Amino acid sequence: MVDPAELRALGWDDALEDDWQDLGTPGSPGRISRLDRGWSTVLTGADPADPANVRRVRNIGADVAVGDWVIPSDDGERVDHVMPRRSAFVRRASFEGSRAEADTLAANIDVVFLTHSFGHAPNQRRLERELVLAYDSGAEPVVVLTKADLVDDPEPARRELVEVAFGVPVIVTSGHAGAGIEELRAFAEGGRTLAFLGASGVGKSTLVNALLGSDVQATTEVRTGDDRGRHTTVAAELLPLPNGGWLVDTPGIRALSLWLSGDGIERAFADVFDLMEHCRFRDCKHDREPGCAVRAAIAEGALDPDRFASLERLVAEEVALEAEQRARTKTGDRRRGGRPPPEASESAGSEDADEDEDEAEHADDDDADDADGA
């Protein structure tokens, strides 16, 4: 049943092949293109328009996200295996209040487009946070500025984002004017998987349609008055690009809270960590210590104090989250009767997250989008 060429066109690679061989080549691998309550749509060939390439598989109890490679049971009643992820974009689900739950927005993404609109003032703090999440996800971040047709000169806003992007490309686009589309498409070369991420109404689906060359995804006007989006896209979906490669459109997300952190903070704030190396004391708190390189850089105007405050907030958030996750792991251990905990970044709490996906998105849109950006 498994056609290797079809799987390759879906993004299957040598690493996945090795993992599958290690499992003893069970079943027929497929890739999840969308999730509905309790069900996943699994592609087994590159053309989703061909019904022979599409399976509906129950995913109750499975920790899965759009973009995942899975081995469904033959009868489609279960997901038997979720293949190891090359990357996963995981945030803390906001609807759980104080409880730490993971929400995997998409898996096996090669390039994540952090999408901002010229329709709003550039938001450096939001981008910093997105860069941390992107680095932690394992995907390569690219900053995408949309709706360039709205401004006479895109340069000032672009430069503000470049200031905190530190070498990450910042691409100016307009879905309406067709600008920057080929630059975006180039990131899919070699059959890679791209994903859009950003607030509602920034124009993600409009760019998706421009890349697909047809109006596959619905788009809706932003609200008059405040320019906020209406959460038109309600579920992530994996879509084939006409010349190879894949694209994930995602629902707009208001707030991104950190989940498991690797070295995302260190990478997104490499400039500040470099400065810290030059503080006189190894345990410098960068407050009032003599010889503090961070304070010196702020005094000289070489480091934006808001950027440093943003870093301190993210570090505090990470520390609090790690404490929560430790507490959670302990509870989980008791529940599982001493079995080893699943790898936190992939499994913790995600069953709930999947089932509550709709609520998760709606919890986000209650409040003003981009409240942090206003």
**To which H or E segment does residue 41 belong?**
strand 39-43
CA pair distance 142, 347, nearest whole angstrom: 27
Helix axes 155-165, 124-137, angle to 10 degrees: 50
User: Which one of 204, 228, 254, 286 is in contact with ligand GTP (CB under 6 A)?
Assistant: 204
**Amino acid identity, position 169:** P
Binding range to ligand GTP, per CB under 6 A, among 10-18, 152-160, 203-211, 279-287: 203-211
Closest CA to 101 of 324, 340, 364: 324
Q: Tell me how far apart the 2 most distant CA atoms of the chain are, in Å.
A: 69
Mapped onto helix, strand or coil, the DSSP state of residue 213 is coil
Closest CA to 91 of 238, 251, 203: 251
Partner interacting with residue 292 (select from Mg ion, Zn ion, ligand GTP, none; CB below 5-8 Å by kind) = Zn ion
Helix axes 293-300, 305-335, angle to 10 degrees: 140
List, in sequence order, every beta strand (DSSP E) within 160-215: 170-172, 193-198
Nearest distance from residue 233's CB to Mg ion, in Å? 3
Report 256-295 residues binding Zn ion (CB under 5 A). Answer: 279, 284, 286, 292, 294
Q: Show contacts of 38-43: CB within 8 Å, 24+ apart.
A: 38/355, 40/64, 40/70, 40/79, 42/70, 42/72, 43/10, 43/238
Rule CB under 5 A: is residue 250 a binding residue for Mg ion?
no
Nearest distance from residue 68's CB to Zn ion, in Å? 42
Nearest distance from residue 250's CB to ligand GTP, in Å? 7
Smaller CB distance to Zn ion: residue 253 or 284? 284
Nearest distance from residue 272's CB to Zn ion, in Å? 10
Smaller CB distance to Zn ion: residue 231 or 286? 286
User: Which one of 220, 313, 323, 327 is in contact with ligand GTP (CB under 6 A)?
Assistant: 220
User: Which one of 205, 261, 310, 325 is in contact with Mg ion (CB under 5 A)?
Assistant: 205
User: Which one of 231, 254, 286, 295 is in contact with ligand GTP (CB under 6 A)?
Assistant: 231
CA pair distance 87, 34, nearest whole angstrom: 17
CA pair distance 244, 317, nearest whole angstrom: 39
Smaller CB distance to Mg ion: residue 207 or 293? 207
Rule CB under 6 A: is residue 201 a binding residue for ligand GTP?
yes
User: Which one of 31, 81, 116, 147 is in contact with ligand GTP (CB under 6 A)?
Assistant: 147
Nearest distance from residue 259's CB to Mg ion, in Å? 23
The answer to whether residues 78 and 95 touch, using CB atoms and an 8 Å cutoff, is no
User: Which one of 36, 50, 155, 221 is in contact with ligand GTP (CB under 6 A)?
Assistant: 221
Report 243-282 residues binding ligand GTP (CB under 6 A). Answer: 251-252
CA pair distance 213, 30, nearest whole angstrom: 25
**Amino acid identity, position 369:** D
Task: State the residues that interact with Mg ion by CB under 5 A.
Answer: 204-205, 232-233
Q: Which residues bind ligand GTP (CB under 6 A)?
A: 146-147, 149-150, 174-176, 200-206, 219-222, 229-233, 251-252
